Structure 1
Amino acid sequence: MSRTGIILALIVCGILPPAHAAEDEDYARSRRRLIEANLPLTPEEAARFWPIYDQYWKELSALTARREAYYVELGNNFDSMTDEHAKRIVLEHISLEEERYRLLRTFFPKFATAILAKKAARYYQIEAKIQAAVNAEIAERIPLIK
């Protein structure tokens, strides 16, 4: 994925904030177009898939907002990090990742029913690639704790 693609993934995943609400909608549409381009669906499958995706995206966005708060807290305390604070931040991050995986686990049967398991697996591969790009960009931008 290109650097532009990574930045777009960061924006649509809520890690980098867009300039304003209209742009936020543009980025959500761009993410949707990325999925549409890589997940061929019949019109009937699309009619079943996209409402489930919209609910998934709503729930994922709530987790993403909490994840963003984690990075803000990490940044605000980077130079004065104590062992106790580091422990709390890491455990919160692990908790968020567990919640994200629970969300994936909860939604997979819904997607698999809507578009069959093979296509749902393909969609999860697309989501994994987006998440990997986001994580790689975050890892590149955040220095190690001293």
Structure 2
Amino acid sequence: MKKLFTLALMLVFGWNVYAQQDVATLIKKDLRSEKEQLIREYMDLTPSQEAVFWPLYNDYQAELEGIMDERIGLLQKYADNYDSMSNDMARDITTRSLDLDTQLSKVRKKYYKRFNKVLPSTSASRFYQLDKMIRVLVETGAYSEIPLME
């Protein structure tokens, strides 16, 4: 079962927490690049809008990365302890996951306001939609591979 979790983490998040750091960094960089390409394609920003959007986007991604790294660590903890999950550990994992959801929501709200100040509201909202769609697709892929707690 542990191997299945690790494989799911590798496939969905693009890196294995057991992999060498430089390999993991390269894969994460590639995934970030693919996300940026999708955003470039669908945002349809003018050059002046791009000049203000991308630095703000980079700040947003940097803040999200810490949350996502914690989430991956939490999934790894779940995988490592799946066969011997105690009630206390299940409660801890779920509570920490809910806390990460709250942190993610706060960051998204904060940056939506910032994007809305420098872009037309339709563009800020389009980015919000794209970002959410990409996140939901990644999460759906991840959670479809992870069995429920027993």
Normalised by the length of structure 1, the TM-score is 0.86
Q: Structure 1 residue 21: deviation in Å?
A: 3.3
**1:124 pairs with 2:128:** yes
Distance change (3 Å), C-alpha of 1:72 and 1:110: same
Alignment of 1:62-81 (within 5 A): 62-81=66-85
Distance change (3 Å), C-alpha of 1:108 and 1:93: same
DSSP-derived class of the 2:83 partner: coil
Unaligned stretches of 5+ in structure 1?
Answer: 1-6
| Matched residue, 2:144 | 140
Q: Distance in 1 between matches of 2:107 and 2:36?
A: 19
User: Is the 2:14–2:31 contact (alpha carbons within 8 Å) kept by the matching residues of 1?
Assistant: no
Distance change (3 Å), C-alpha of 1:20 and 1:43: same
Q: Structure 1 residue 20: deviation in Å?
A: 4.5
Report the AA paired with residue 16 of structure 1. Answer: G
Alignment of 1:83-98 (within 5 A): 83-98=87-102
Q: What is the number of equivalent residue pairs in this alignment? A: 135
Q: Structure 1 residue 24: deviation in Å?
A: 3.3
DSSP-derived class of the 2:85 partner: coil
| Matched residue, 1:17 | 15
Q: Distance in 1 between matches of 2:107 and 2:144?
A: 26
| Matched residue, 2:112 | 108
DSSP-derived class of the 1:143 partner: coil
Report the AA paired with residue 27 of structure 1. Answer: L
Report the AA paired with residue 17 of structure 1. Answer: W
User: Is the 2:78–2:93 contact (alpha carbons within 8 Å) kept by the matching residues of 1?
Assistant: yes
Deviates more, 1:26-35 or 1:99-108: 26-35
| Matched residue, 1:3 | none
Q: Distance in 1 between matches of 2:72 and 2:78?
A: 10
DSSP-derived class of the 1:130 partner: helix
Matched-pair identity in %: 24
DSSP-derived class of the 1:78 partner: helix
The root-mean-square deviation of aligned C-alpha atoms, in Å, is 1.8
DSSP-derived class of the 2:82 partner: coil
Q: Structure 1 residue 37: deviation in Å?
A: 0.4
